[in-house]
Amino acid sequence: MASLRDIKTRINSTKKTRQITKAMEMVSAAKLNRSQEKARSFLPYTEKIRDVVASIASGSTDVDHPMLQERPVKKTGYIVITSDRGLAGAYNSSIIRGVLNTIQERHSSPDEYGIIAIGKIGRDLLKRRNLPIIQEVTGLGDQPTFNDIKNLARTTVEMFSDEIFDELYIWYNHFVSPITQEVTEQKVLPLTDISTGSAKASYEYEPSEEAILEHLLPQYAESLIYGALLDAKASEFGARMTAMSAATDNASALIDSLTLVYNRARQAAITQEITEIVGGAAALE
């Protein structure tokens, strides 16, 4: 049985751990609020580009752009968004599991797909499995800007235009609530469903519809990637806040249990001392 000193030491160390997890929970909650606000503020921008592109695609029969057309799929690109740090529950493992299962179902050879990794944990896990990582970005801040992934987003879209990829998907955790994140696969290219929404406004295009599309379609595809990153960041902080809250509760439960053991052991030691004193006094009589 552990000594009273050992139990007391463990109680103190668990209390310090609880202080850390509680602080991390509060920090993650603050970061979550900022991430949600940033994701919400970016959404109208993406929706407006989509409205304009949808207006052109649905209103003209002469529109012909490679990003709007499906072609035979020889190679698929996957953008995988994970975090740079752990302590976020199943946030990263659920994404990696989904990507690996999908690749196993769809492809029989590494030549049939390529991966663009955003986040250190996902990159390291995929590298250890010898999967083909074409591009990677790590070390993003808690509130990433578009400039942080501009080069990756642009070159990834260019890979589709250059027919290196024939389709492009993005994998990330969609934020539902601080305790719920949904693993999501979103098709980025080709933009085959761009005309599903009905554009409510009418537009006049200068110099031409084709010139507008040539500029807007890559920009829209890049905005989808950035929007998914913002959504994933909100999910990351929600997952970390929930994980740290659970860790704090577990630490409190462990402290209560250890305190009970400590008190019982202390009571037993005191009883033993009293018994020894009484026995010694009786022997002197």
CATH number at residue 87: 3.40.1380.10
Handedness of CA 8, 257, 15, 267 (dihedral sign): negative
Same domain flag for 220 and 273 = no
Q: pLDDT tier at 32 (50, 70, 90 boundaries)?
A: very high
Q: Answer whether residue 29 is part of any domain.
A: no
Q: Report the SS3 class of residue 174.
A: strand
Give the total number of structural domains in the chain: 2
pLDDT of residue 58: 66
pLDDT of residue 16: 94
Q: pLDDT tier at 53 (50, 70, 90 boundaries)?
A: confident
pLDDT at 66 over 80: no
Angstrom CA distances, 80 to 8, 34, 98, 225, 249, stand at 45, 23, 10, 10, 32
pLDDT, average across residues 154-161: 89
Domain at 20, CATH number? 1.10.287.80
CA distance 126 to 113: 13
pTM over 0.75: yes
pLDDT of residue 199: 47
Final residue of a structural domain among 242, 259, 275: 242
Segment 207-225, tens digit of pLDDT: 777 777 777 888 888 898 9
Task: Map 237-259 to HEC letters.
Answer: HHHHHHHHHHHHHHHHHHHHHHH
pLDDT, average across residues 31-40: 90
Same domain flag for 261 and 206 = no
One-letter amino acid at 285 equals E
Q: pLDDT tier at 82 (50, 70, 90 boundaries)?
A: very high
pLDDT, average across residues 264-281: 76
- Say which residue, 58 or 190, is predicted with more confidence: 190
pLDDT, average across residues 39-43: 88
Token pair of 270 as six digits: 């005191």
Q: Does residue 188 contact residue 42 with C-beta atoms inside 8 Å?
A: no
pLDDT, average across residues 54-64: 64
Q: Answer whether residue 109 is part of any domain.
A: yes
pLDDT, average across residues 56-64: 62
Same domain flag for 210 and 86 = yes
pLDDT, average across residues 90-105: 93
pLDDT above 70: percentage of residues in the chain = 88
Same domain flag for 60 and 84 = yes
Same domain flag for 89 and 216 = yes
Expressed as residue numbers, the domain containing 213 is 35-242
Same domain flag for 148 and 192 = yes
pLDDT at 200 over 70: no
pLDDT, average across residues 231-237: 93
Same domain flag for 8 and 147 = no
Phi, psi for 79 (deg, rounded to 5): -95, 120
Please state, rounded to an integer, the average pLDDT across all residues of the chain: 86
Q: Answer whether residue 30 is part of any domain.
A: no
Q: pLDDT tier at 196 (50, 70, 90 boundaries)?
A: very low
Same domain flag for 129 and 208 = yes
Same domain flag for 258 and 142 = no
Q: pLDDT tier at 124 (50, 70, 90 boundaries)?
A: very high
pLDDT of residue 216: 81
Same domain flag for 74 and 101 = yes
pLDDT above 90: percentage of residues in the chain = 47
Strand pairing partners for 77?
Answer: 114, 168
Same domain flag for 262 and 191 = no
Same domain flag for 167 and 104 = yes
Query: What is residue 10's DSSP assignment?
Result: H
Reference 175, options 4, 36, 271; nearest CA is 36
Q: Answer whether residue 266 is part of any domain.
A: yes
pLDDT at 234 over 90: yes
